Structure 1
Amino acid sequence: MRKHNDMGYTEDSGTENRAIITVLGEDRPGIVAAVTGILSEHEVNILDISQTILQGTFSMTMLVDVAEMNVSFKALQAELADLAQKIKVQITCQREDVFRYMYRL
């Protein structure tokens, strides 16, 4: 079901409970485990995941459900930002509706 929001575009209903997480950096063991460990700890469900390694560069994109999350969205973003510094990758976490608005054609 599509709905019109106050930003002037249509979106799938339910996107307010979903987020897009992207990870980019030099490939090394443990990246997936570290990111998914935080998500599991906070009751964030992975709905879809894609990852690839291109000439040593790791890239992962996840669509996650944050409806049952046991921390605030900002707290999750902060924890992922701390992890990014620790494991030397770039991690972004955006609500799906914001992500789709930013990258619409």
Structure 2
Amino acid sequence: MTSILMVRRPSAFLPIAMSLAALATITVYVALHGTAPQADEGAAAHIWQLLMVCQVPVIAFFAVKWFPQSPRQALRILGLQLVAALAAMAPVFLLGW
């Protein structure tokens, strides 16, 4: 199976979509409220946390199912999922939240 066909599997693209949604949540929050840290976590922080944590079982399922069958293509998709997760985590780290 090629990487293009594999990325169409829900267990491959859902973590990427969740990371992008988490990044969009941060972007919208910063656009509306600015970058100053808040005294209490709001809904945006909880949504971001849920999106990031819920990716873990989906990524684990993908790795268990596809890595033994197509290791090279699965490794590419896992790398793409990692890059997407790091992109969603970067603003939180850089802003010191």
In terms of fraction of residues, the more helix-rich structure is 2
Normalising by structure 1, we get a TM-score of 0.33
Normalising by the residue count of structure 2, what TM-score does the alignment of the two structures yield? 0.35
Higher strand share goes to which structure? 1
* Pair member with larger Rg: 2
- Which has the higher relative contact order, 1 or 2, with Cα contacts under 8 A spaced 6 or more apart? 2
